[in-house]
Structure 1
Amino acid sequence: MYAIPLGEDGAELRPLEPWQAEELLAHMDRGREFIGRYIALADAVADLESAREFLQGYADKTAADAGRIYGIWADGKLVGGVLFRTMDINQGTAEAGCWLEPSAVGKGLVTRAARVIIDWAVVERGIHRVEWWAKAENEASIAVARRLGMKREAVLRQSYVHRGSRHDMEIWAVLAPEWRAGETPS
């Protein structure tokens, strides 16, 4: 296994794999309500079996070159993650996403981790367009998209049903030439 340092605070980015289902479940239990405000991950990972199934789904996506998932560890504890929910190498597109438990908020972990995976996707895999979808009321996620140099391209009105309510989704994106030119604010 490998780990990529995310800065001088000791945080690391590592692949998140099926054998880590117990750790994912414990992490989700610590942050379930916080994480679940905006994304379905908190509801999808409800017990050990569903945690394994979720991670196996991403292991299968990795094997098919159709997605990836990485955990963010701080002080040796899984506190969040970033992923490519979708990845289409032939079309050169990917959709990145993230989540954090409350103890990890406000430290720049998601921005740093997302930079690592987007750079890998653009430089190593030839991805041309990386999208970031966020509920319109998820100001923290939208702030990450801005820090990554993404541009808001659309609002899909009431397109996302989450916990029984309809929500607007914002689509943000960065193109490979923009990314390579370093047009991302710090």
Structure 2
Amino acid sequence: MLSTPLAEGAELTTLEPWQAAELTAFTDRNRAHLEPWLPWAHDVTDEAGARRFLQAYADKQARDAGRMFAIRLHGELVGGMIYRLFDTAEGSCELGAWLAPEAQGRGLVTEASRRMIEWAVDVRGLSRVEWLVDPANKASIAVARRLGMSHEGTLRSRFEMAGKRRDLEVWSLLSHEWREARGS
């Protein structure tokens, strides 16, 4: 399996449609933790829904418009990362992440995000990486800060989820900021 090490026993790997049963089981175990923040957690309620969700990202990857990855700890699916949007013509992408409660506090999302930023900026030549987050999601905002992102503002009442209008904070990192932070 293709993978990138993140920490001792942790890796970033592919997450593909054939792994729908695994994503379904993960979502079922973590639904209460995921649903406040992730619209897809409301839709992945069975293997068919998980397969549709994963296939949508496989199709995005085929168009070079997005990608999805698993975060694994000792081989077990404990979270994931996405390029929700990936636009080489505009030179920008949007990262997203999720993690099971028992895997938090290990720096896995931060390290996985660094690897994804490195690939987007250094390999693919993108100029801008975005991180959109509900203002109440303090853990996700902390990741954006650790990555050196700047808070650009808040999109008020940006979307509806579970019958409630939600705001989204926009955080970003520009390629020159990424390079300067790494000293290259």
TM-score of the aligned structures, taking structure 2 as reference length? 0.96
TM-score of the aligned structures, taking structure 1 as reference length? 0.95
Structure 1 residue 183: Cα displacement = 6.0
Structure 1 residue 137: Cα displacement = 0.5
CA RMSD of the aligned region, Å?
Answer: 1.2
Preserved CA contact (<8 Å) 1:14 1:71? yes
Match of 2:2 in 1: 2
Question: Equivalences for 1:136-175 in 2 at 5 Å?
Answer: 136-175=135-174
- Of all paired residues, the percent bearing the same amino acid is 50
Cα distance between partner residues in 1 of 2:124 and 2:5 = 21
> Which of structure 1's runs of 4+ aligned residues deviate more than 2 A?
none
Letter in 2 for 1:150: M
Question: Equivalences for 1:65-104 in 2 at 5 Å?
Answer: 65-104=64-103
Task: After superposition, give the CA deviation of every residue in 1:92-113 in whole Å (9 maximum; x if it has no partner).
Answer: 0101000111111121111011
Task: After superposition, give the CA deviation of every residue in 1:130-186 in whole Å (9 maximum; x if it has no partner).
Answer: 0000001000000000001100001011212111111211000000010111269xx
Cα distance between partner residues in 2 of 1:180 and 1:69 = 24
Match of 1:13 in 2: 12
1:34 aligned counterpart, secondary structure: helix
Match of 1:43 in 2: 42
Query: What residue ranges of structure 2 are gaps of 5+ in the alignment?
Result: none
Query: What residue ranges of structure 1 are gaps of 5+ in the alignment?
Result: none
Cα distance between partner residues in 1 of 2:118 and 2:31 = 29
Cα distance between partner residues in 2 of 1:44 and 1:145 = 26
Match of 2:120 in 1: 121
